[in-house]
Amino acid sequence: MGTYTIPRNLKGETRLLLIFSIKSLITTAIGAAIGGLFYLIIGLGFGQETAGYIVLGIFGLIGFGVGTIKIPTIAGLPITKKIGGESIDQIVIRFFKFRMTKKKYAYFITKEGEK
């Protein structure tokens, strides 16, 4: 009897340095770049180098979280039923695309039973 390999979808599973996927590495770098700007202001501008490193690390962790964490589906919260299982970066991208559209949306609230 022979052995066969089962094909899998490996999209997004490439890992660098054991914890970073390519997407999380990019978002960590973006977060660290934003934190680097604050480091320049706090660390070099005000002379508080340790505080600058702390802020740099916090922004790097936020970037890592945005690229890695997925929103769980919680039955008690209605909003998580719609976005449960999606990663935070996809939600942020959709939010900014929605905000950038020039179309205006009108929402009408009616009482139950009325049309």
Domain ranges of the chain: 15-100
* Interval 8-34: pLDDT, tens: 665 555 666 778 888 888 999 999 999
* pLDDT above 60 for 115: no
pLDDT computed for residue 107 by the predictor: 61
With beta carbons less than 8 A apart as the criterion, state whether 80 and 56 touch. no
- Whether the model clears a pTM of 0.85, i.e. scores above it, the answer is no
Give residue 54's pLDDT. Answer: 92
Non-local (6+) Cβ contacts of 21 within 8 A are 12, 13, 14, 15, 67, 68
The larger pLDDT score, comparing residue 109 to residue 52, is at 52
Judge whether residue 65 has pLDDT over 60.
Answer: yes
